Structure 1
Amino acid sequence: MTTTAAAPVTTPAQTALILRILTVATFVVILNETIMNNAIPPLMAHFDVPATSAQWLTTSFMLTMAVVIPMTGWIMQRLATRATFALAMGLFAVGTTIAAVAPAFEVLVGARVVQAAGTAIMIPLLMTTLMNLVPVAERGRTMGNVSLVIAVAPAMGPAVSGILLRTGSWRMIFLAILPIALVALWLGLRQLPDVGEREESTLDLPSLVLSVLGFGGLVYGLSGLGGGQGEGGAPAPEPVVDPALAAGIAVLALIAFVWRQRSLARTGDPLMDLRTLSHRSFTGAFLTMALGFSALISTMILLPIHLQSGLGLSTLQTGLLLIPGGLAMGLLGPQIGKLYDRIGARPLVVPGAIGMTLSLALMALLVPSVGPWTILGLHVLLSLSLALLFTPLFTAGLGSLPQHLYAHGSALLGSSQQVFGAAGTATSIAVMSLVAGANPSVADRADGVQAGFALLAVVAAIAIPTSLIVRTPVEDAEAPVGDAPVEEAPVEVAH
């Protein structure tokens, strides 16, 4: 393996421009993740497909993300920054173009897969570039501004798609996104410099196969085991492979994947460098963030089920009720980032973990007996608690790594979101279905949702001790790139 140092970017103006371009591009690709939710019924009618088939538009996206994200660490170190950006936004733009003119349902699903591949690369690229360019003292504020975009984009997706669907066909969703993606791609190719270090490493094919079987199979298996529920409680896609079998094979593949990466780390060519987990603060951030995303994604499934089947709200009313929480999480991000720069990680993430556990426990206690306004308040409380977690965890977790591990750390955090999101959804929905029983009444369904939230509250409580492990880096970690394991941690303070 050889390492090529890229020309550093030193001026604040260049850094600001780079981050603006990457943030706009990331906003578009994240908005695209949730913009399809309201379009499922029109697509079912247009292509004459059942709900179980239509759900593959979201399931295929999630599976592709789970497969590609583990590779992004290797991709970002192998390619220059501009080339990685061109690959990410190029794939996204091509997928969006194909989707806009898709003549058949199968073509549209394929287009979503291409879009997802670009999305999976784009998000870790933004995080890694931010860590390479922004000084330690300003990372919290900058990450907070980025988290504003990341949190608000998915909250806006259903509303934006609703407006577009009122003005035209479902193709308007992709035609509206495509010009923004093309402009972002053009600006990136003109303005983005190459930052960080580029490593001439080879792609290990056994690792690639194990990654696909492990991460993709686990997300597929867990999603299939989740009681037959898809987005918003809709039927999940018909399984091509038995979910339990897929999950079992995935676990074995992940064990082999970990063993393979540990072996390749000695030569410096792992697909995903697991030496990131030798840094205690990163491990604490990784575990806490995984639990936080599990709570977030599971709540986005459980609450719509209860609001629609239990309280009789329409899909539009349900979407509007959940928007304030997403907006609160995003708008609080910049302020949390500024606080992180002043007081560090622990005073934020510990109350965030406690608030997350408390809000889920209150949902478990109150959901069956309260109306939509109380649920709105509890959802906002959960969103504010998650806002206290995500920005400090990203910043402190990645900041605790040496620079050459930033890309792999971003990939590992991204993979955890997909896998733990699927795991949380599968287990909470399975518990809900078990408690509610077959052909449940409204009261039975409410009891099932209550049990699902009780499980989430118990799991979320684990985040309280893991959040105590997170430390605030006070300077960049310096560690050599090579055969030796990384032993030195960065200088940290226990804020």
Structure 2
Amino acid sequence: MAFTLMFGAFIGLFGETALNMALTNIMADFSINSATAQWLTTGYLLTLGILVPVSSLLIRWFTTKQLLVASLAFSIAGSLLAGLAPSFAVLFIGRVVQAIGTGILLPLMMNVILLIFPIHKRGAVMGVMGLVITTAPAIGPALSGLIVDTLGWSYIFWVSLLFYLGLIVFGLKQIDNVSQITKPTIDVISIVLSTVGFGGVIYSLSTMAEKSLTSAYVYLPLVVGFVSLLLFAVRQFKMKQPMINLRVFKYPMFTLGIVLLFIGMFLILSTAILLPLYMRTSLLVSAAVAGLVLLPGSALNALLSPVIGMLSDRFGVKTILPIGFLLTASSSVLFIIIISAETPIWQVVIAFLIFFVGIAMIIMPAQTNGLNELPRELYADGSAVTNTLQQIAGATGTALAITFMIHGENLFLEASPSASSVDVIAEGTKYAFYFIAGFAITGFIASLFVKRVRV
């Protein structure tokens, strides 16, 4: 049962970053720039972030099997639409529909796993789930690079479709209904406020890539988004049956765990969009080669995630988390030093390896330690908050990475108007890594305040 849910989540999360390696091809096919193309990733993540809070309600309205069927139906419809897309608009809509399927599945997976496994096995199981949550978006560019070069970018969706159909045939019979159906009241106002809030903030961050901070296209959505999120939070505390019980933030280690998890997902998704663009357009390597460059780091992360889960059970997270952030910060600084239009591929491989060793030591330890502090009745709410902010972190990371990159390119062009395009892109990527390093250092400082939660 856990395998079926994790495999479905793996395919959906693979879709988060799978198109990153194909963005240059899509930009050429549909005559769009990188700021527009990044919406294929940002829109996917934003849809997840908006839908996951609603999914915490759906878990209490529908059975486990009903939700899995709905999730797979949306995922299949989205894959079909995107695979056949004749225009960028249709491709974007297909991505959003696909994201709805993943948005239903993620909270379902976490809630079911918390219910069916005893506490003393939870660290190891969450470590395996860490393999899904971190490896799927990390391995996306590596696998899709091979697909893009051999078959074409649309086949990314056909491959996903085959796996979804396989899950319907072989996976559904493994699922039992374990969630408790209470059918709480659905508050439409809360849904609207959370949608406008997250949507406004991410739209504003994405628009910064092409507009100035003083533009109404940037500051108006930002203000509306923050006000909506504030009203959403106030409303949740006043409701008897909130859409998401924000009282989970009264538990300090859960709150700190969420902050560290947010930074970790920001680091993963910002790097996952920057490096493929840099390698394809500055180092001028093929999609397959660029994918293979990222593969060792992704593979090492996959191997380490379960091990880190067991080490967390034995030694606690207080030691593991700071080391993880120290490694990601070191890797980001290394990228700043090495990135240029002539960087040897082996240097990118080594920096990426160090980066993902650090990531393996961040995501699941931070999440498990935080969730362990919550009482059983808040598991669903904790899962909803965790999954929501993970996707919002990814959308924020993707949007800001492209914004910083374009800003860095513009600054370099002002200083060197005659510079070649490969040098411009390399300098823009290097500029973005200054901010990524800053986030990693912030995470390291915050991780020093973690205390182990003993259940």
State TM-score, norm by structure 1.
0.80
Query: Structure 1: how far apart are the matches of 2:397 and 2:142?
Result: 25
Question: In the TM superposition, what is the alpha-carbon distance from 1:433 to its structure 2 partner?
Answer: 4.0
Structure 1 contact 226–428 (Cα < 8 Å) conserved: no
Alignment-derived partner of residue 359 in structure 2: 386
**CA separation of 1:453/1:162 partners in 2, compared to 1, >3 Å: closer, same or farther?**
closer
**CA separation of 1:381/1:453 partners in 2, compared to 1, >3 Å: closer, same or farther?**
same
Gaps of 5+ in 2: none
Query: Structure 1: how far apart are the matches of 2:117 and 2:169?
Result: 24
Alignment-derived partner of residue 310 in structure 2: 338
Question: In the TM superposition, what is the alpha-carbon distance from 1:462 to its structure 2 partner?
Answer: 2.0
Which residue identity does 1:382 align to in structure 2? F
Alignment-derived partner of residue 436 in structure 2: 456
| % identical equivalent positions | 32
Question: In the TM superposition, what is the alpha-carbon distance from 1:213 to its structure 2 partner?
Answer: 0.5
The farther-off stretch of 286-295 and 81-90 is 81-90
Which residue identity does 1:259 align to in structure 2? V
The correspondence for 1:182, drawn from 162, 165, 174, is 165
Query: Structure 2: how far apart are the matches of 1:171 and 1:419?
Result: 26
In the alignment, structure 1 residue 248 sits paired with structure 2 residue 223: yes
Alignment-derived partner of residue 413 in structure 1: 386
Structure 1 contact 355–381 (Cα < 8 Å) conserved: yes
Structure 1 contact 223–422 (Cα < 8 Å) conserved: no
Alignment-derived partner of residue 237 in structure 1: none
Gaps of 5+ in 1: 1-17, 229-240, 476-495
Moved over 6 A (4+): none
Alignment-derived partner of residue 372 in structure 2: 399
Query: Structure 2: how far apart are the matches of 1:130 and 1:383?
Result: 25
How is 1:338-377 mapped onto 2 (pairs within 5 angstroms)? 338-368=310-340, 371-377=344-350
Query: Structure 1: how far apart are the matches of 2:376 and 2:273?
Result: 37
Query: Structure 1: how far apart are the matches of 2:308 and 2:265?
Result: 18
Alignment-derived partner of residue 111 in structure 2: 128
Structure 2 contact 59–179 (Cα < 8 Å) conserved: no
Structure 2 contact 257–367 (Cα < 8 Å) conserved: yes
Structure 2 contact 149–288 (Cα < 8 Å) conserved: no
The farther-off stretch of 454-463 and 284-293 is 454-463
**CA separation of 1:143/1:54 partners in 2, compared to 1, >3 Å: closer, same or farther?**
same
Structure 2 contact 321–361 (Cα < 8 Å) conserved: yes
In the alignment, structure 1 residue 94 sits paired with structure 2 residue 77: yes
How is 1:226-265 mapped onto 2 (pairs within 5 angstroms)? 226=209, 242-264=217-239
Query: Structure 1: how far apart are the matches of 2:442 and 2:146?
Result: 40
How is 1:135-150 mapped onto 2 (pairs within 5 angstroms)? 135-150=118-133
**CA separation of 1:291/1:158 partners in 2, compared to 1, >3 Å: closer, same or farther?**
closer
Which residue identity does 2:274 align to in structure 1? L
**CA separation of 1:299/1:161 partners in 2, compared to 1, >3 Å: closer, same or farther?**
closer
Question: In the TM superposition, what is the alpha-carbon distance from 1:449 to its structure 2 partner?
Answer: 3.6
How is 1:47-446 mapped onto 2 (pairs within 5 angstroms)? 50-51=32-33, 56-102=39-85, 106-165=89-148, 168=151, 171-226=154-209, 242-264=217-239, 267=240, 269-368=241-340, 371-436=344-409, 437=411, 439=413, 441=419, 446=426
Question: In the TM superposition, what is the alpha-carbon distance from 1:94 to its structure 2 partner?
Answer: 2.6
Which residue identity does 2:96 align to in structure 1? V
Which residue identity does 1:262 align to in structure 2? F
**CA separation of 1:296/1:189 partners in 2, compared to 1, >3 Å: closer, same or farther?**
closer
Query: Structure 1: how far apart are the matches of 2:72 and 2:333?
Result: 41
Question: In the TM superposition, what is the alpha-carbon distance from 1:429 to its structure 2 partner?
Answer: 4.5
Query: Structure 2: how far apart are the matches of 1:310 and 1:184?
Result: 39
Query: Structure 2: how far apart are the matches of 1:285 and 1:259?
Result: 22
Query: Structure 1: how far apart are the matches of 2:95 and 2:276?
Result: 24
Question: In the TM superposition, what is the alpha-carbon distance from 1:100 to its structure 2 partner?
Answer: 4.2
Query: Structure 1: how far apart are the matches of 2:33 and 2:453?
Result: 48
**CA separation of 1:314/1:108 partners in 2, compared to 1, >3 Å: closer, same or farther?**
closer
Query: Structure 2: how far apart are the matches of 1:290 and 1:411?
Result: 14
Which residue identity does 1:340 align to in structure 2? S
Structure 1 contact 131–398 (Cα < 8 Å) conserved: no
Which residue identity does 1:421 align to in structure 2? G
**CA separation of 1:72/1:384 partners in 2, compared to 1, >3 Å: closer, same or farther?**
same
Q: Secondary structure at the match of 2:182?
A: strand
The farther-off stretch of 31-40 and 287-296 is 31-40
Show CA shifts across 1:183-202 (max 9, x none). Answer: 32344543312224332211
Which residue identity does 2:367 align to in structure 1? F
**CA separation of 1:146/1:162 partners in 2, compared to 1, >3 Å: closer, same or farther?**
same
Q: Secondary structure at the match of 1:36?
A: helix
Query: Structure 2: how far apart are the matches of 1:402 and 1:109?
Result: 40
Alignment-derived partner of residue 9 in structure 1: none
Alignment-derived partner of residue 482 in structure 1: none
Structure 2 contact 127–364 (Cα < 8 Å) conserved: yes
**CA separation of 1:422/1:94 partners in 2, compared to 1, >3 Å: closer, same or farther?**
closer
The correspondence for 1:468, drawn from 435, 448, 451, is 448
Which residue identity does 1:248 align to in structure 2? V
Which residue identity does 2:175 align to in structure 1? L
Structure 1 contact 66–215 (Cα < 8 Å) conserved: yes
The farther-off stretch of 142-151 and 394-403 is 142-151
Question: In the TM superposition, what is the alpha-carbon distance from 1:358 to its structure 2 partner?
Answer: 2.6
The farther-off stretch of 332-341 and 105-114 is 105-114
Which residue identity does 1:21 align to in structure 2? T
Which residue identity does 1:135 align to in structure 2? P
Question: In the TM superposition, what is the alpha-carbon distance from 1:363 to its structure 2 partner?
Answer: 2.9
Which residue identity does 1:35 align to in structure 2? A
Alignment-derived partner of residue 493 in structure 1: none
Which residue identity does 2:222 align to in structure 1? A
**Aligned-pair Cα RMSD in Å:** 3.0
Query: Structure 1: how far apart are the matches of 2:94 and 2:248?
Result: 33
Query: Structure 2: how far apart are the matches of 1:156 and 1:365?
Result: 25
**CA separation of 1:350/1:37 partners in 2, compared to 1, >3 Å: closer, same or farther?**
closer
Structure 2 contact 43–96 (Cα < 8 Å) conserved: yes
